Amino acid sequence: MPTVEQVRIGAAIPQVFIDGPVDMTWVRDWILRSEALGFDSIWVQENIVGDFPCLEPVSLLCYAAALTSKVRLGTSVMVAPLRNPIQLAKSLSSLDQMSHGRLTVGVGLGGRTGDYPPFGIDPERRARRLVEVVEVMKALWTQSAANYQGQFWQLDGTPMEPKPVQLPHPPVWFGGSHPAALRRAVRHGNGWMGAGSSSTAQFAEAVEHLKRFLEESGQDPSSFPISKRVYLAVDNDQHRAERHLREWFAVRYKNAERASQVSVWGSVSSCVEQLAEILAAGAQHLMLNPVFDELEHLEIMARDIAPQLVSI
Protein backbone atom coordinates (compact mmCIF):
# COMPACT_ATOMS: atom_id res chain seq x y z
CA MET A 1 0.00 0.00 0.00
CA PRO A 2 1.29 3.51 -0.72
CA THR A 3 2.79 5.45 2.16
CA VAL A 4 1.11 8.57 3.56
CA GLU A 5 3.50 10.77 1.58
CA GLN A 6 2.59 9.02 -1.67
CA VAL A 7 -1.19 9.24 -1.45
CA ARG A 8 -2.54 12.25 -3.34
CA ILE A 9 -6.17 13.18 -3.86
CA GLY A 10 -7.44 14.97 -6.94
CA ALA A 11 -10.94 15.83 -8.12
CA ALA A 12 -12.78 16.06 -11.44
CA ILE A 13 -13.85 19.50 -12.60
CA PRO A 14 -17.59 19.58 -13.39
CA GLN A 15 -17.78 19.69 -17.17
CA VAL A 16 -20.66 17.36 -18.08
CA PHE A 17 -24.11 18.95 -17.77
CA ILE A 18 -26.86 16.36 -18.13
CA ASP A 19 -29.57 18.23 -16.20
CA GLY A 20 -29.39 21.71 -17.67
CA PRO A 21 -27.34 24.35 -19.48
CA VAL A 22 -23.64 24.98 -18.86
CA ASP A 23 -23.23 27.10 -15.72
CA MET A 24 -19.80 28.74 -15.69
CA THR A 25 -20.43 30.65 -12.46
CA TRP A 26 -20.91 27.33 -10.73
CA VAL A 27 -17.82 25.85 -12.44
CA ARG A 28 -15.81 28.90 -11.34
CA ASP A 29 -16.97 28.51 -7.74
CA TRP A 30 -16.02 24.82 -7.80
CA ILE A 31 -12.52 25.51 -9.18
CA LEU A 32 -11.79 28.23 -6.64
CA ARG A 33 -13.04 26.07 -3.78
CA SER A 34 -11.03 23.03 -4.90
CA GLU A 35 -7.79 24.99 -4.57
CA ALA A 36 -8.82 26.54 -1.27
CA LEU A 37 -9.52 23.08 0.14
CA GLY A 38 -6.03 21.89 -0.80
CA PHE A 39 -6.71 19.23 -3.42
CA ASP A 40 -3.57 17.96 -5.11
CA SER A 41 -4.98 18.30 -8.62
CA ILE A 42 -8.10 18.95 -10.68
CA TRP A 43 -8.90 17.06 -13.85
CA VAL A 44 -10.91 17.09 -17.06
CA GLN A 45 -12.02 14.37 -19.45
CA GLU A 46 -12.65 14.52 -23.19
CA ASN A 47 -15.85 13.97 -25.12
CA ILE A 48 -15.83 16.07 -28.28
CA VAL A 49 -18.95 14.72 -30.00
CA GLY A 50 -22.05 13.68 -28.09
CA ASP A 51 -25.68 14.42 -27.32
CA PHE A 52 -25.02 16.09 -23.94
CA PRO A 53 -23.09 19.26 -23.04
CA CYS A 54 -19.42 18.57 -22.22
CA LEU A 55 -16.85 21.38 -22.16
CA GLU A 56 -13.70 20.97 -24.24
CA PRO A 57 -10.83 19.94 -21.94
CA VAL A 58 -7.93 22.21 -22.95
CA SER A 59 -10.18 25.27 -23.01
CA LEU A 60 -11.52 24.41 -19.57
CA LEU A 61 -8.04 23.91 -18.12
CA CYS A 62 -6.93 27.27 -19.51
CA TYR A 63 -9.88 28.79 -17.64
CA ALA A 64 -8.88 26.89 -14.49
CA ALA A 65 -5.26 28.03 -14.86
CA ALA A 66 -6.38 31.66 -14.77
CA LEU A 67 -8.35 31.10 -11.56
CA THR A 68 -5.74 29.12 -9.62
CA SER A 69 -2.08 29.30 -8.62
CA LYS A 70 -1.17 26.04 -6.86
CA VAL A 71 -3.34 23.07 -7.78
CA ARG A 72 -2.10 20.86 -10.62
CA LEU A 73 -4.18 20.60 -13.79
CA GLY A 74 -4.64 17.35 -15.68
CA THR A 75 -6.40 15.67 -18.59
CA SER A 76 -7.84 12.21 -17.94
CA VAL A 77 -7.65 11.45 -20.72
CA MET A 78 -7.44 13.24 -24.04
CA VAL A 79 -8.22 11.05 -27.04
CA ALA A 80 -4.94 12.04 -28.62
CA PRO A 81 -5.26 10.16 -31.95
CA LEU A 82 -8.13 12.50 -32.86
CA ARG A 83 -5.83 15.53 -32.50
CA ASN A 84 -3.22 17.14 -34.71
CA PRO A 85 -0.04 16.82 -32.61
CA ILE A 86 1.50 20.10 -33.74
CA GLN A 87 -1.54 22.13 -32.77
CA LEU A 88 -1.99 20.09 -29.58
CA ALA A 89 1.66 20.56 -28.59
CA LYS A 90 1.24 24.31 -29.03
CA SER A 91 -1.98 24.41 -26.99
CA LEU A 92 -0.52 22.34 -24.16
CA SER A 93 2.80 24.20 -24.00
CA SER A 94 0.82 27.44 -23.86
CA LEU A 95 -1.30 25.98 -21.05
CA ASP A 96 1.84 24.93 -19.17
CA GLN A 97 3.12 28.48 -19.52
CA MET A 98 -0.19 29.99 -18.37
CA SER A 99 -0.27 27.69 -15.33
CA HIS A 100 3.45 28.20 -14.51
CA GLY A 101 4.22 24.51 -14.98
CA ARG A 102 1.23 22.77 -13.37
CA LEU A 103 0.07 20.58 -16.28
CA THR A 104 -0.16 16.78 -16.44
CA VAL A 105 -1.02 15.46 -19.89
CA GLY A 106 -3.16 12.33 -19.83
CA VAL A 107 -3.64 10.60 -23.20
CA GLY A 108 -5.41 7.49 -24.44
CA LEU A 109 -7.29 5.84 -27.27
CA GLY A 110 -10.78 6.49 -25.94
CA GLY A 111 -13.42 3.86 -25.40
CA ARG A 112 -15.43 4.20 -28.62
CA THR A 113 -13.96 3.40 -32.04
CA GLY A 114 -17.09 4.94 -33.56
CA ASP A 115 -15.77 8.38 -32.63
CA TYR A 116 -12.97 8.10 -35.21
CA PRO A 117 -14.72 8.09 -38.63
CA PRO A 118 -16.32 11.56 -38.22
CA PHE A 119 -12.77 12.92 -37.84
CA GLY A 120 -11.71 11.18 -41.06
CA ILE A 121 -9.48 8.78 -39.12
CA ASP A 122 -9.22 4.99 -39.49
CA PRO A 123 -9.69 3.48 -36.01
CA GLU A 124 -7.65 0.43 -37.03
CA ARG A 125 -4.45 2.49 -36.80
CA ARG A 126 -5.33 4.48 -33.72
CA ALA A 127 -2.62 2.96 -31.50
CA ARG A 128 0.12 3.97 -33.90
CA ARG A 129 -1.38 7.45 -34.19
CA LEU A 130 -1.39 7.77 -30.39
CA VAL A 131 2.31 6.94 -30.17
CA GLU A 132 3.18 9.37 -32.94
CA VAL A 133 1.12 12.18 -31.39
CA VAL A 134 3.10 11.79 -28.16
CA GLU A 135 6.45 11.51 -29.95
CA VAL A 136 5.76 14.58 -32.12
CA MET A 137 4.74 16.64 -29.11
CA LYS A 138 7.86 15.62 -27.18
CA ALA A 139 10.03 16.54 -30.17
CA LEU A 140 8.42 19.98 -30.43
CA TRP A 141 8.66 20.51 -26.68
CA THR A 142 12.33 19.56 -26.34
CA GLN A 143 14.07 20.37 -29.64
CA SER A 144 14.81 23.89 -30.84
CA ALA A 145 14.11 22.70 -34.38
CA ALA A 146 12.18 19.44 -34.20
CA ASN A 147 12.91 16.49 -36.45
CA TYR A 148 10.64 13.46 -36.64
CA GLN A 149 9.86 10.83 -39.25
CA GLY A 150 6.70 8.81 -38.64
CA GLN A 151 3.98 7.11 -40.64
CA PHE A 152 1.54 9.99 -40.16
CA TRP A 153 3.67 13.04 -39.37
CA GLN A 154 7.07 14.28 -40.44
CA LEU A 155 9.00 17.22 -39.05
CA ASP A 156 12.06 18.67 -40.74
CA GLY A 157 13.59 21.27 -38.48
CA THR A 158 10.22 22.55 -37.30
CA PRO A 159 10.48 25.20 -34.54
CA MET A 160 7.79 25.81 -31.94
CA GLU A 161 7.83 28.36 -29.14
CA PRO A 162 7.23 28.79 -26.31
CA LYS A 163 8.42 25.52 -24.86
CA PRO A 164 6.64 24.24 -21.75
CA VAL A 165 7.79 25.48 -18.36
CA GLN A 166 8.30 21.93 -17.10
CA LEU A 167 11.50 20.24 -18.21
CA PRO A 168 11.99 18.27 -20.28
CA HIS A 169 8.20 18.48 -20.80
CA PRO A 170 4.97 18.10 -18.83
CA PRO A 171 4.51 14.56 -17.48
CA VAL A 172 2.58 12.35 -19.88
CA TRP A 173 0.27 9.80 -18.28
CA PHE A 174 -1.38 7.08 -20.34
CA GLY A 175 -4.76 5.44 -19.94
CA GLY A 176 -5.84 1.99 -21.14
CA SER A 177 -5.80 -1.37 -19.37
CA HIS A 178 -5.05 -3.87 -22.15
CA PRO A 179 -1.54 -5.35 -21.81
CA ALA A 180 -0.52 -3.63 -25.05
CA ALA A 181 -1.71 -0.30 -23.65
CA LEU A 182 0.20 -0.87 -20.42
CA ARG A 183 3.39 -1.68 -22.32
CA ARG A 184 2.84 1.51 -24.31
CA ALA A 185 2.48 3.48 -21.08
CA VAL A 186 5.78 2.10 -19.77
CA ARG A 187 7.59 2.74 -23.05
CA HIS A 188 6.30 6.23 -23.77
CA GLY A 189 4.78 7.61 -20.57
CA ASN A 190 5.63 9.02 -17.16
CA GLY A 191 2.60 7.60 -15.35
CA TRP A 192 -0.67 5.68 -15.76
CA MET A 193 -4.28 6.30 -14.81
CA GLY A 194 -6.93 3.62 -14.55
CA ALA A 195 -10.26 4.47 -16.14
CA GLY A 196 -13.29 5.38 -14.11
CA SER A 197 -15.19 2.82 -16.16
CA SER A 198 -13.06 -0.01 -14.73
CA SER A 199 -13.74 -1.88 -11.50
CA THR A 200 -11.33 -2.16 -8.58
CA ALA A 201 -10.62 -5.78 -9.54
CA GLN A 202 -9.84 -4.78 -13.13
CA PHE A 203 -7.63 -1.95 -11.88
CA ALA A 204 -5.73 -4.33 -9.58
CA GLU A 205 -5.12 -6.74 -12.44
CA ALA A 206 -3.83 -3.94 -14.67
CA VAL A 207 -1.49 -2.70 -11.93
CA GLU A 208 0.09 -6.14 -11.61
CA HIS A 209 0.78 -6.20 -15.36
CA LEU A 210 2.07 -2.64 -15.24
CA LYS A 211 4.52 -3.34 -12.43
CA ARG A 212 5.85 -6.38 -14.25
CA PHE A 213 6.38 -4.37 -17.44
CA LEU A 214 8.15 -1.64 -15.44
CA GLU A 215 10.49 -4.18 -13.89
CA GLU A 216 11.17 -5.78 -17.26
CA SER A 217 12.08 -2.36 -18.66
CA GLY A 218 14.44 -1.66 -15.76
CA GLN A 219 12.33 1.20 -14.40
CA ASP A 220 11.70 1.75 -10.72
CA PRO A 221 7.94 1.24 -10.18
CA SER A 222 8.00 3.72 -7.29
CA SER A 223 8.98 6.51 -9.72
CA PHE A 224 6.04 5.81 -12.04
CA PRO A 225 2.80 7.33 -10.66
CA ILE A 226 -0.28 5.10 -10.69
CA SER A 227 -3.67 6.75 -10.48
CA LYS A 228 -7.35 5.94 -10.88
CA ARG A 229 -10.45 7.96 -11.70
CA VAL A 230 -13.22 6.96 -9.30
CA TYR A 231 -16.87 7.82 -9.85
CA LEU A 232 -18.22 8.58 -6.41
CA ALA A 233 -21.53 9.24 -4.64
CA VAL A 234 -21.54 9.92 -0.90
CA ASP A 235 -24.98 9.43 0.61
CA ASN A 236 -26.19 7.53 3.66
CA ASP A 237 -29.07 6.37 1.46
CA GLN A 238 -27.19 3.82 -0.65
CA HIS A 239 -30.07 3.22 -3.04
CA ARG A 240 -30.38 6.94 -3.80
CA ALA A 241 -26.61 7.23 -4.32
CA GLU A 242 -26.58 4.31 -6.75
CA ARG A 243 -29.62 5.70 -8.59
CA HIS A 244 -27.87 9.04 -9.16
CA LEU A 245 -24.82 7.26 -10.54
CA ARG A 246 -26.88 5.06 -12.83
CA GLU A 247 -28.79 8.05 -14.19
CA TRP A 248 -25.53 9.84 -14.99
CA PHE A 249 -23.91 6.77 -16.56
CA ALA A 250 -27.00 6.25 -18.72
CA VAL A 251 -26.37 9.65 -20.32
CA ARG A 252 -22.56 9.81 -20.29
CA TYR A 253 -21.77 6.19 -21.19
CA LYS A 254 -25.19 5.00 -22.43
CA ASN A 255 -24.81 2.18 -19.90
CA ALA A 256 -26.51 2.56 -16.52
CA GLU A 257 -25.45 -0.91 -15.41
CA ARG A 258 -21.78 0.02 -15.58
CA ALA A 259 -22.28 2.52 -12.77
CA SER A 260 -23.13 -0.32 -10.39
CA GLN A 261 -20.12 -2.30 -11.57
CA VAL A 262 -17.38 0.32 -11.22
CA SER A 263 -18.44 3.15 -8.90
CA VAL A 264 -17.98 3.83 -5.19
CA TRP A 265 -21.05 4.92 -3.24
CA GLY A 266 -22.68 4.94 0.18
CA SER A 267 -21.86 6.50 3.53
CA VAL A 268 -18.55 8.21 4.23
CA SER A 269 -17.23 5.15 6.05
CA SER A 270 -18.33 2.85 3.24
CA CYS A 271 -16.72 5.06 0.59
CA VAL A 272 -13.47 5.26 2.57
CA GLU A 273 -13.40 1.48 2.84
CA GLN A 274 -13.92 1.05 -0.91
CA LEU A 275 -11.33 3.69 -1.77
CA ALA A 276 -8.84 2.05 0.59
CA GLU A 277 -9.18 -1.11 -1.51
CA ILE A 278 -8.09 0.86 -4.57
CA LEU A 279 -5.07 2.19 -2.67
CA ALA A 280 -4.25 -1.33 -1.56
CA ALA A 281 -4.37 -2.41 -5.20
CA GLY A 282 -1.53 0.01 -5.96
CA ALA A 283 -2.96 3.48 -6.53
CA GLN A 284 -0.78 6.36 -5.35
CA HIS A 285 -3.22 8.96 -6.61
CA LEU A 286 -7.02 9.04 -6.65
CA MET A 287 -9.03 11.31 -8.89
CA LEU A 288 -12.47 11.47 -7.28
CA ASN A 289 -15.34 12.21 -9.65
CA PRO A 290 -18.77 12.96 -8.16
CA VAL A 291 -21.52 13.22 -10.76
CA PHE A 292 -24.09 15.29 -8.83
CA ASP A 293 -24.01 17.94 -6.05
CA GLU A 294 -20.35 18.46 -6.96
CA LEU A 295 -19.73 21.42 -4.63
CA GLU A 296 -21.22 19.57 -1.68
CA HIS A 297 -19.17 16.51 -2.54
CA LEU A 298 -16.03 18.64 -2.74
CA GLU A 299 -16.49 19.67 0.90
CA ILE A 300 -17.19 16.10 2.01
CA MET A 301 -14.19 14.74 0.15
CA ALA A 302 -11.86 17.32 1.71
CA ARG A 303 -13.29 17.21 5.22
CA ASP A 304 -14.34 13.60 5.72
CA ILE A 305 -12.73 11.34 3.12
CA ALA A 306 -9.23 12.59 2.21
CA PRO A 307 -7.96 12.79 5.83
CA GLN A 308 -8.90 9.17 6.43
CA LEU A 309 -7.25 7.98 3.21
CA VAL A 310 -3.92 9.67 3.84
CA SER A 311 -3.80 8.23 7.38
CA ILE A 312 -4.41 4.62 6.35
Domain contains 213: yes
pLDDT digits (tens, 9 = 90+) for 250-265: 999 999 999 999 999 9
Task: State the average pLDDT for the chain.
Answer: 95
Rounded Cα–Cα distance for residues 222 and 211 (Å) = 9
Domain contains 2: no
Phi and psi, residue 170, nearest 5°: -60, 145
Burial class (CB in 10 A: 0-12, 13-18, 19+), 293: middle
- How confident is residue 291, by pLDDT bands cut at 50, 70 and 90? very high
Greater model confidence, 5 or 99 = 99
Q: Which amino acid is at 77?
A: V
Identify whether 77 is preceded by a cis peptide bond (ω within 30 of 0). yes
8 Å CB contact between 271 and 289? no
Task: Say whether pLDDT at 247 is over 60.
Answer: yes
Give pLDDT, residue 20. 83
Give pLDDT, residue 173. 98
Which whole number is the average pLDDT over 186-196?
97
- How confident is residue 310, by pLDDT bands cut at 50, 70 and 90? confident
Give pLDDT, residue 187. 97
Give pLDDT, residue 312. 65
Task: Say whether pLDDT at 4 is over 50.
Answer: no
pLDDT digits (tens, 9 = 90+) for 54-70: 999 999 999 999 999 99
Give pLDDT, residue 19. 85
pLDDT digits (tens, 9 = 90+) for 13-39: 999 999 889 999 999 999 999 999 999
Give pLDDT, residue 1. 40
Residue span of the structural domain in which 75 resides:
8-310
Strand partners, 287: 10, 229
pLDDT digits (tens, 9 = 90+) for 118-171: 999 999 999 999 999 999 999 999 999 999 999 999 999 999 999 999 999 999
* Percentage of the chain exceeding pLDDT 70: 97
Domain contains 45: yes
DSSP state of 98: H
Domain contains 3: no
Domain contains 255: yes
pLDDT digits (tens, 9 = 90+) for 37-53: 999 999 999 999 999 99
Domain contains 219: yes
Give pLDDT, residue 6. 67
Rounded Cα–Cα distance for residues 148 and 92 (Å) = 19
Q: What Å distances lie between residue 156 and 147, 150, 254, CA to CA?
A: 5, 11, 44
Long-range contacts at 278-282 (CB < 8 A, ≥ 24 apart): 278/200, 278/203, 278/228, 278/230, 279/1, 279/2, 279/7, 279/309, 279/312, 280/1, 281/200, 281/203, 281/204, 281/207, 282/2, 282/203, 282/204, 282/207, 282/208, 282/211, 282/226
Which whole number is the average pLDDT over 80-91?
98
Identify the CATH number of the domain in which residue 27 sits: 3.20.20.30
Strand partners, 147: 156
8 Å CB contact between 28 and 15? no
Tally of domains in the chain: 1
Which whole number is the average pLDDT over 280-286?
96
Domain contains 249: yes
pLDDT digits (tens, 9 = 90+) for 293-303: 999 999 999 99
